[in-house]
Structure 1
Amino acid sequence: MLNSISSTLFKSIATMVAALMLASASYGGDTMVRTTNVSDHKLALKGYDAVAYFNQGAPVAGKSRFRHIHKGVEYRFSTAENRDRFAAKPAKYEPQYGGFCAFGASVGLKLEVDPEAFEIVEGKLYLNNSPEVHAMWLKDPSGRIKAADRKWKNIRTMAAASLSPTPYDE
């Protein structure tokens, strides 16, 4: 019976994730391999301030006048101080999984994110596709992180359109 429930749950989640992937595919048939989730103009976090997640505990829109280019990607910040903090230690503030959805990575997918669906866990920033997906991720964040860490190694250099959901195995 437990296998039947697990199988049904996986199928439901896979169907929902596939629908989210289609609904949030802002890159058409994304066959380009992106290792970071950026806009066509190489803007990270949809312009949100990466440092504000940590020091304000909230998503805050960045301003173009406070920008920093890191690894060819533009990050925007709400203040010059936040920009300077990021520039000094980018690895401390960069989102996990290249800024793709943490839940998606845990099932082998690269999904777009809602910058307001976030969590800081053990000093790292995790983003999710939507508030609903974020709520599912919060049911087992440590398990999801372990699964995503394992799967990210394989999917990092693959085009999002080439990926199919895989079972969540914590």
Structure 2
Amino acid sequence: MRPGIALIGALVGMLAGTWLACSGLPALAATTERIVVNRFSGVAIEGFDPVAYFVDGGAEQGTAEFEANLLGAVWRFRNEGNRAEFLAHPEIYGPQFGGYDPVDIARSVTVAGNPRFFVISAQRLYLFSREDNRAAFAANPERFLYEVGKRWPALQDKLSQ
């Protein structure tokens, strides 16, 4: 076998091995948007209606019929009233920290929250990546919000606009 071909084969093998070794790791660094959106559709929080958490008390799917483009994301709503309320007060109804999990932010990492795991605290919506994070936050939101306050500005600067 020629030395040049052997070198190329070795490099390809090394790269494939590195990819396989890393493919099972969570892709924390892959989340680079200021608001958690579907990278293909641009829809925020998996199409759930952010106002419904407050009005209906739970995670309710919005529809394409009632969409709004705001803050670089497409938001979906269950009805025109929810859409209008969100557009009037996105700072109240939008998920805090762009939909990233505040428990993970307190650990200095940005992990997208799951719209099914949520807490409304002090009239603000928080999304969590896991049920344990939701439970920990619900037990002591002040503790986590204190830590998030120290870490979020630096993490947010690393997210693209």
| TM score, norm. by length of structure 1 | 0.73
The one-character-per-residue Cα deviations of 1:134-166 (angstroms, maximum 9, x if unpaired) are 112223211101111221111012159xxxxxx
* 1:13-162 equivalences in 2 (<5 Å): 22-23=25-26, 25=27, 30=30, 33-40=32-39, 41-159=41-159
* Long gaps (5+) in structure 2: 1-24
The code of the aligned residue for 1:39 comes to N
Aligned residues: 135
C-alpha separation in 2, matches of 1:42 and 1:150: 29
What is the deviation of 1:122?
0.9
Q: Contact 1:33–1:157 (CA<8 Å) still a contact in 2? A: no
Cα distance, 1:53 vs. partner?
A: 0.7
Gaps of 5+ in 1: 1-21, 161-170
- The one-letter amino acid of 1:110's match is T
SS in structure 2 at match of 1:157? helix
Instruction: State the partner residue of 2:4.
Output: none
What amino acid sits opposite 2:44 in the alignment? A
What does the per-residue CA deviation read over 1:109-129, in whole Å, with 9 as the maximum and x for residues that have no partner? 110221111111111111110
RMSD: 1.9
Distance between the aligned counterparts of 1:58 and 1:149, measured in 2?
26
**The residue matched to 1:67 in structure 2 has which SS?**
strand
Give CA deviations for 1:3-46 in whole Å, capped at 9, x if unaligned: xxxxxxxxxxxxxxxxxxx44x4x8x62x732111111221111
CA distance in 1, matches of 2:116, 2:152: 22
SS of aligned partner of 1:156: helix
The code of the aligned residue for 2:58 comes to A
Please identify the structure whose Cα radius of gyration is greater.
2
Q: Distance in 1 between matches of 2:138 and 2:106?
A: 12
- For 1:38 and 1:123, the matched residues in 2 are separated by 23
- State the 4+ residue runs in structure 1 displaced beyond 3 angstroms: none
